[in-house]
Structure 1
Amino acid sequence: MVISNAQILAHLGDTGRVAGTLHPKAQAILFGDVADDAIDRDLPWITQVDRAHLVMMAETGLLPIAHVSPLLRRIDEMECSGFASLRGRSAPRGVYLLYETYLIADLGEEIGGVLQTARSRNDLGATVLRMRLRQVVADLLTGLSRLQTTLLRRAEDCADAVFPIYTHYQPAQPVTLAHYYAGVAGALDRDAEALHAVLSDLDRCPLGAGAVGGTGLPIDTRRTAALLGFSTPWAHSIDAVASRDAVLRLLAALGILGVTVSRLAHDLQLWTTGEFGFLTVADDLVGTSSMMPQKRNVYMLEHIKGMAAAPMGALTAAAMAMHATPFSNSIAVGTEGVKPVWAAASGMADALTLVRLIVAGAEPNQGAMRLRAISGQTNATALADWLVRERGMPFRRAHHEVGGVIRGMMVQGVVDLATAARDAHPEWFHGERSPHLKPIDVVAAQEHGGGPGPDSTIREIERVRASLRTRRAALVAQHRRWRAARQTLRSAVERVLDIAVIDRPGQGHPAGA
């Protein structure tokens, strides 16, 4: 049966309370000229919710199977066709009402008109949002896990790559690239913890809250929640419909993750410059100049920093859209306040992929790294500590004396601190015990306070790796639960359809009977 646009518009144009469809210009702004984008974005999720709702209504006897089964069958057919019957059509009151109106025109009001029984677009929209968001968060956690894994693997590869860590853009102390990468992986682990908290918060199902005040029909919200892969239904109808704080929590978590990623990208960009020369990035991760033949630009790091900044801006936009609105259903909250999250999350997922590729493809130039660790006198603190430990000198005095040696080195153009200290203060070096001031030796001794010593670094790598295993297992279990819910829902749909086949016309007993 072919349903014409005129039939659809006739249904949409008279809701009882409102006659006529939305003004064409308003429709174009709010819903687009045709509904295809919204069909691709929303309808696969909406139909999943519809199936769960219809199954529950049949099982509880609130709707007869004779009405439910044609709806379920037609929804399956529409989805299998890619919703071809809706494509190219306008949606003057949104894609859901286009879809529902089509079902009514196709199946008749007695069947198509029961779909929204004990349900509203408000709780439907809140449920679809949480289903979409939980998949987005799961994908982000997967991307973050891959970045952490790459950092830990590169840390193990770069255990001997000694270089100066900088403070205030000046050489500070010698560390290893392994220690640096392990530290970033540890910081990202806290970002992963925040995303897991968002995923846990998304595990409540708003379906059943209705427009805002629940329903007088005895629906089974635990059943629909389980069929959709949620652990529990929402306990309060106003909160379920009014709240989109999960969007804000996700954007806040992504904003902080973006800060971590941008700082990693900033360091990598500095260290790949000719002035530093600590890292060389593979040819398939760099670009060149259309004019300057010598250029070798690690330009992806600039994209990463820009992408990583977007969630913080999205958080501001979303929070301000939701700010000072009624604590009830609100388009400012549920539509405008939600809009910024999708691009921000997508951009962050891309940033995680790009920075992972850079980390994996960046090779350390150990000669340049060691040379700068020496020329930057990064062993100065180790010498002061040695004077405290071996010569009983108060630290402030040791700090002052070593600083004086370095001042003299600057005047004389000397690079090696150990040689300069022996020349300036031979009395420090009497006896058999002498300081080990090679950067690699300094690093080896820094085992305390989470320093870059080998054992300390290995412990941190193993700690983060253990946390990663736990988080991956939790995510695998979550995916398994979602798959099981989809299979259970499919089986429940088939059961309703099977009962409809053998049921006598008009009997319409509950599917759970």
Structure 2
Amino acid sequence: MASQFPAPIYRDTVLAHVFADAKRLFLDSMIEIDYAHLLMLTQQKIVSRETAVLCLRALDSLDLEAIRSTPYDGSVEDLFFLIEQKLADLCGADNAGRIHTARSRNDIDMTMYRMVLRSRLLATLDAVAALRTRLVTLASEHRSALMPAYTHNQPAQPTTLGHYLMAIIEILERDTERLRAAFLRVNRSPLGACAITTTGFPIDRAQTMTMLGFHGLQTNSYGAIASVDYITESCSVLAVTMLNLGRFAQDLLLWSTAEFNFLRLSDGYVQISSIMPQKRNPVPLEHVRILSSRSLSEAQSTLQSLHNTPFADMNDSEDSFQPLVDMAFTDGLRALLLLEGVLSEATFNLDHMRARAAGSFLTVTELADTLVRETGISFHQAHTFVAAAVKSANGIFSAEAMVASVLASLATAGVQAPEPSILFRALDPEYFVAIRSIPGGPALEALSPEIARAEAQLATDRVWLASQREQIQTAQRSIRKAADSLLAAQ
């Protein structure tokens, strides 16, 4: 015998979950859309002022907390119909039914999704800005702190902690640019597209666009309903941000090992062992790593979920899909906030980092460069002389031995040698850094302007963030003001 709607299995596997997700993620946006659409219908004289007043009073009377605690019982299909039912109970079915003039669940859904996604993007941008602020402070404080740079996980050349951190800051600046661009494409209103072809009613899409805080319209109604690229772009940008964050976290975890001993987390950010009394485990950094990996994977899963779906209104991008987007941004936000918190109390072992920068033959590139500048030989020949000196040292670095070996090679080749003091200077890590003063280098004269630029860019981005939030908040206040004005007139 055929079941009645909702079939128990369908109810338990789909509808109850969709209902719970909609209450958690979209209830506030759905109600905001009801207000804006009703006010526009009234302005356009599609709904009478008398009906509008009754509907506004009903909207004002909704107990949203009670709705959030309502379990799914199958008496309605979804949250939209529950709200419609409750409004009908408050102002009559005929009045409540008029709110749905010239709209569809399709354009309501697409509008809600964009409203929630834009808030996720702004929260992510806020967290990235907070992390950038922390890193700019650290880079400024440690702009002269020597440390080894690594290639292929091997010590390579001396640099500074400020130089390394500035590289991470630049990555986060690019992440910010990508997130901002995604936000601008998300923040377009699809409301008024209705099912997929708009409506014959003379609605004003620009009015609801403004009242809901959107920058513009997602104009083509077919695309407003069928397109998903605003989601896939946002999630792709998030995935890139999380990939970058995970690589930084991996470096910090390596620096926290006893073997590296570059970074020490505060007591508030370490966990102990239940058996080993000596352990100070940098567990929060591991959480940053897994949270960023989770976020990246969830963001990538949105693209995989939408691959080869039809260009149309479909549930593949809606009810059971949207929580995946929320998970990706929630985990990404957790990772960003946690890393900023860890770094706010962490300390660097500067003396040890400096000592490591002075050893392991890290300065010998400059020795080869100095030979080129002082003697006129080719870099290839200079590289050969210095490589021979390194090889003869058998892994034990000695400036005296290096200089002696190079002087011997120059003499054998019949090349006039520079003063030994010039060669010893080339092996000094501070000199190594100081002479690399072209744009992008670690020398103070190159790095300090970049730190200042990063501070200025951060200030600019914070102004932009504040302006976007203010636009949305202003729009929300305008809805309330318009509703109050209409109610006061009756």
Q: TM-score, normalised by structure 1?
A: 0.89
Letter in 1 for 2:404: D
The 1:460–1:33 alpha-carbon spacing in structure 2 relative to 1, beyond 3 Å, is closer
Deviations 1:10-29 (A, max 9, x none): xxxxxxxxx95311221122
Q: Are the equivalent residues in 1 in contact too, given 2:368–2:379 (CA < 8 A)?
A: yes
Question: Which residue of structure 1 aligns with residue 34 of structure 2?
Answer: 50
Question: Which residue of structure 1 aligns with residue 256 of structure 2?
Answer: 272
Question: Which residue of structure 2 aligns with residue 14 of structure 1?
Answer: none
For structure 2, list consecutive stretches of 5 or more residues without a partner in the other structure: 412-416
Question: Which residue of structure 2 aligns with residue 361 of structure 1?
Answer: 345
The 1:107–1:34 alpha-carbon spacing in structure 2 relative to 1, beyond 3 Å, is farther
Q: Are the equivalent residues in 2 in contact too, given 1:259–1:308 (CA < 8 A)?
A: yes
Q: Identity rate of aligned residues, in percent?
A: 32
Q: Are the equivalent residues in 2 in contact too, given 1:144–1:352 (CA < 8 A)?
A: yes
Shift of 1:174: 0.4
Q: Are the equivalent residues in 1 in contact too, given 2:436–2:442 (CA < 8 A)?
A: yes
- Structure 2 distance, partners of 1:487, 1:204, is 19
Figure out how many residues of one structure are paired with residues of the other and give that number: 478
Deviations 1:98-124 (A, max 9, x none): 111222244322111112110101000
Q: Are the equivalent residues in 1 in contact too, given 2:142–2:160 (CA < 8 A)?
A: yes
Does residue 470 (structure 1) correspond to residue 460 (structure 2)? The answer is: yes
The 1:182–1:89 alpha-carbon spacing in structure 2 relative to 1, beyond 3 Å, is same
Letter in 2 for 1:430: E
Query: The residue matched to 2:98 in structure 1 has which SS?
Result: coil
Query: The residue matched to 1:163 in structure 2 has which SS?
Result: strand
RMSD of aligned Cα (Å): 2.0
User: 220, 225, 241: which one pairs with 2:225?
Assistant: 241
The 1:212–1:34 alpha-carbon spacing in structure 2 relative to 1, beyond 3 Å, is closer
- Structure 2 distance, partners of 1:192, 1:167, is 27
Q: Are the equivalent residues in 2 in contact too, given 1:287–1:297 (CA < 8 A)?
A: yes
Letter in 1 for 2:118: R
Question: Which residue of structure 2 aligns with residue 382 of structure 1?
Answer: 366
Query: 457-466 or 158-167: which moved more?
Result: 457-466
- Structure 1 distance, partners of 2:102, 2:396, is 83
Question: Which residue of structure 2 aligns with residue 148 of structure 1?
Answer: 132
Q: Are the equivalent residues in 1 in contact too, given 2:262–2:352 (CA < 8 A)?
A: yes
The 1:34–1:131 alpha-carbon spacing in structure 2 relative to 1, beyond 3 Å, is closer
Q: Are the equivalent residues in 2 in contact too, given 1:161–1:364 (CA < 8 A)?
A: no
Runs of 4+ in structure 1 over 6 Å off? none
Question: Which residue of structure 2 aligns with residue 301 of structure 1?
Answer: 285
Q: Are the equivalent residues in 1 in contact too, given 2:143–2:448 (CA < 8 A)?
A: no
Q: Are the equivalent residues in 2 in contact too, given 1:34–1:90 (CA < 8 A)?
A: no
Question: Which residue of structure 2 aligns with residue 250 of structure 1?
Answer: 234
Q: Are the equivalent residues in 1 in contact too, given 2:403–2:420 (CA < 8 A)?
A: no
Query: 459-468 or 231-240: which moved more?
Result: 459-468
Query: The residue matched to 2:147 in structure 1 has which SS?
Result: strand
Does residue 445 (structure 1) correspond to residue 435 (structure 2)? The answer is: yes
- Structure 1 distance, partners of 2:403, 2:278, is 44
The 1:215–1:88 alpha-carbon spacing in structure 2 relative to 1, beyond 3 Å, is same
Does residue 494 (structure 1) correspond to residue 484 (structure 2)? The answer is: yes
Equivalent residue runs for 1:55-454 within 5 Å? 55-79=39-63, 82-84=65-67, 87-91=70-74, 92-410=76-394, 414-416=396-398, 418-426=399-407, 428-430=417-419, 433-434=422-423, 435-454=425-444
- Structure 1 distance, partners of 2:306, 2:18, is 28
Deviations 1:26-80 (A, max 9, x none): 112223279565334322111100000000001110011221211111111114x
The 1:408–1:431 alpha-carbon spacing in structure 2 relative to 1, beyond 3 Å, is closer
Shift of 1:144: 0.2
- Structure 1 distance, partners of 2:18, 2:438, is 64
Q: Are the equivalent residues in 1 in contact too, given 2:435–2:443 (CA < 8 A)?
A: yes
- Structure 2 distance, partners of 1:323, 1:150, is 38
Q: TM-score, normalised by structure 2?
A: 0.93
User: 477, 482, 485: which one pairs with 2:472?
Assistant: 482
Q: Are the equivalent residues in 2 in contact too, given 1:270–1:276 (CA < 8 A)?
A: yes
Query: The residue matched to 2:402 in structure 1 has which SS?
Result: helix
Letter in 1 for 2:257: T
The 1:352–1:432 alpha-carbon spacing in structure 2 relative to 1, beyond 3 Å, is closer
Query: The residue matched to 1:155 in structure 2 has which SS?
Result: helix
For structure 1, list consecutive stretches of 5 or more residues without a partner in the other structure: 1-18, 502-513
Shift of 1:84: 4.9
Letter in 2 for 1:469: A
- Structure 2 distance, partners of 1:497, 1:456, is 62
Q: Are the equivalent residues in 1 in contact too, given 2:434–2:443 (CA < 8 A)?
A: yes
- Structure 2 distance, partners of 1:232, 1:95, is 27
Query: The residue matched to 1:425 in structure 2 has which SS?
Result: helix
Shift of 1:498: 2.1
